[in-house]
Every structure is written in structure tokens, then in C-alpha cells.
Amino acid sequence: MKLSGTITALVTPFATDGSVDYGRLQALVEAQTAAGIEGICSVGTSGESPTLSHEEHHKVIEKTIEFAQGKCKIVAGTGANSTSEAISLTKAAIDMGGADACLQVTPYYNKPNAEGLYRHFMTVADLGLPVILYNVPGRAGKEIPLDVVVRLAKHPNVIAIKEAAGSVERVSAIKNLVPDFTVLSGDDSLALPMIAVGAEGVISVASNVIPQEMGDMIRLALAGDFVKARAYHAKYYQLFHDLFIDVNPVMVKEALALMGKCERVFRLPLCETDDAKLAQMKKTLCSLNLL
């Protein structure tokens, strides 16, 4: 399977009592598919995966698959820093059916060595569901070394890597070593330069807010029309920036709450942003006629 285009790292909406709001989730998923998004990543970091119970984790993925009705690819966020937990979450995604791939984050906090990383990802890949590696050293505290990426890319079920290390040069290095391996940007503001050197798309936070526009920008870039794609980038750059002035996914949920698409509810240790950052987000959304 080949992944390309825009895959939305979908938020998990909560009701005012803190429970998962499946009605809001359905509306968010349907808005994504109506905008022609290529994929949805369910219960990744942007979906507040660390604070969902295993039962909620399974149900949010299952409901996302149901609500999408086969209109886009579904990537299940089933990574963990314990291999046994990643296996359990991935097996559940396989058993429910409908997931096209899973996103496997670099094991965080325990920071395994290169061989430990290799064995971790290989063990999950052996389960049969296509795997997207997730390189995010800023959160995981550990980078997936290039030689490990090369080794893993030989596995038929390891189909892509999400690059969220903030390095365009690393995309070039991966494509130089394994030219046919799919690279997806993990940063909205770096999606265009990463595509310019060989990335095939983006796993996007911004597309929660602007699915049509983000999808159009990436499709233009993949078609080689960087003049028009850059115009989109320039228009929405401030949004890309402001979505990360507080820890993700706080600002994207703040934006969606301002737009009336979810409640302003988080689970601790995440909480609302401060008044200054909220005002900045409101200003940016107004400038783009999104409010």
C-alpha cells in the first residue's frame, strides 16, 4: 500500500463531563471526508492518546472507521513505549477491521538503543497491519537512526515514516538511502520543502481546521505546481505557526472550539491555553475568515 496526500491527525473531542463525545467525533470525521482528505489518523498524539483508556482507544478508532465509511484511508494510532502494549493496541485494530495502517511512535521515555528500536518495530510489523514509523525526537527523546530506518524499510509491512524531527535534510537522507520508501511530513510548516525533496505528503494538524485548503496545497505540491502551493503556504503560514504556540493538541482544539466544532475540554495534564495565546489564535482565525 502506498500512502500520499494529506492525512489528518484528528483530535479526540470530549464532552463537558470529560467523556469522549462521539457525536462531535462523527461530525469531525464527516467534515474531513467531505473535504476530500486522503486519510485520517485516529488516536495519535493529536488525539490525546496518552489519556484515553484502552477501551476508549479501541472505540475511537472503531467509530472513526465507521464514520468515515471507506471514503479515506484510516491510520490507527497504536504505538506505545511498551512493545506488549503496542502489540495489544495493534491487534485490537486488526480485529475490528477497517484500519489501513497503524502509526507506531518511537518508544518514549525509556529511549531504547538501536537494536531495541529495530526489534520493537519489527515485532509490531510482524502482526500484519502496515506500519508507519513515527520519528518525533522532540516528544520521544529518541530519534530512529537512519540505519535502523533502512533495516526496517526492508520489512514488507513497514510502508512509511512520519518525519517530525523538523529536518528537511533528514528526508533527503532517507530518500537517498531508500528511494522507494514513503516519507510523510509531520510538520505542516515543513510539508512543502519536504515534498520538494521527495516526501509524499503530510500527517497534518492544520487539516483539522482547514482540510480542504491543506489537501489542495499538498495535491498541488505533489503535482509539481509549487507556485500555487506556495501561495497556500504563505496564506496559512500564521495558522501553521499558531497551532504550536502551546503544546499540541491544545491550540488545534482551541481553534476548533472557537469555530464551534468541539468543546474546550482537555484531560489533565493537558489544559486550556492562556488568554494571550487564545487571543492570538482568534486573531489568526478571523484574518482567514474562519470565524
Alpha-carbon span 148 to 107, nearest angstrom: 14
Phi, psi for residue 281 in degrees, rounded to 5 = -65, -40
Alpha-carbon span 181 to 263, nearest angstrom: 39
Alpha-carbon span 248 to 223, nearest angstrom: 30
Active-site residue 108, yes or no? no
- Give residue 288's identity as a one-letter amino acid code: L
Residue from 118, 134, 232, 236 carrying the catalytic annotation? 134
Place of cell 509490531: 124
Residue from 73, 142, 162, 253 carrying the catalytic annotation? 162
Active-site residue 63, yes or no? no
Enumerate the active-site residues.
134, 162
